[in-house]
């Protein structure tokens, strides 16, 4: 990879994402104020848009929504993502239902389920390991009680 001088206000990851997209022969795509069924490319930028599925090397979302995202890196600002699979994911004032990522960096974000090796920042998760255990235990106890009541009811009915 080539060494380039960087402006202090420019994000060095933008140049890296562009270079990686070119090496992967993916197209750079910009979507603004539209709805798409499927978007596929190298570096994708979505602004005030929606997509059912997105596959990209790098995805940047602003005030957008996507149902299913598969990307190397996802940067979501004021956005919503249904299911996300990524190596790196940054959520800023965004919501996601299900996230699978190696690293998640969040700022005022919410998610229902997060499966990640490393989570940094302020991320409110609905289903933590403790709540998942509690839900599973409650479900198991409910099934056990229903079987016990049904068995007792069957025995009393058979004896009459």
**pLDDT tens for residues 111-157?**
998 888 899 999 888 877 788 788 889 999 999 999 888 877 777 77
User: What average pLDDT is seen over the chain?
Assistant: 84
Measured between alpha carbons, how far is 10 from 24 in angstroms, rounded to an integer? 23
Q: Output the pLDDT for position 105.
A: 93
**pLDDT tens for residues 18-50?**
665 555 546 788 999 989 999 998 899 999 999
The confidence band for 9, taking pLDDT boundaries of 50, 70 and 90, is: low
Task: Decide: 92 and 76 in contact? Cβ < 8 Å.
Answer: yes
Measured between alpha carbons, how far is 91 from 50 in angstroms, rounded to an integer? 17
């Amino acid at each position: 990879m080539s060494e380039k001088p960087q402006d202090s206000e420019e994000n060095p990851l933008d140049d890296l994402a562009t270079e990686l997209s070119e090496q992967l022969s993916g197209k750079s795509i910009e979507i603004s104020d539209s709805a798409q069924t499927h978007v596929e490319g190298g570096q994708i930028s979505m602004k005030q848009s929606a997509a059912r599925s997105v596959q990209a090397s790098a995805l940047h979302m602003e005030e957008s929504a996507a149902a299913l995202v598969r990307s190397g890196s996802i940067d979501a600002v004021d956005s919503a993502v249904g299911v996300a699979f990524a190596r790196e994911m940054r959520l800023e004032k965004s919501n996601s239902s299900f996230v699978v990522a190696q690293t998640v960096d969040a700022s005022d974000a919410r998610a229902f389920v997060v499966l990640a090796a490393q989570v940094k920042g302020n991320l409110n998760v609905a289903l933590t390991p403790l709540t998942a255990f509690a839900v599973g235990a409650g479900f198991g106890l409910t099934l056990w009680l229903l079987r016990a009541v049904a068995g007792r009811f069957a025995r009393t009915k058979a004896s009459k």
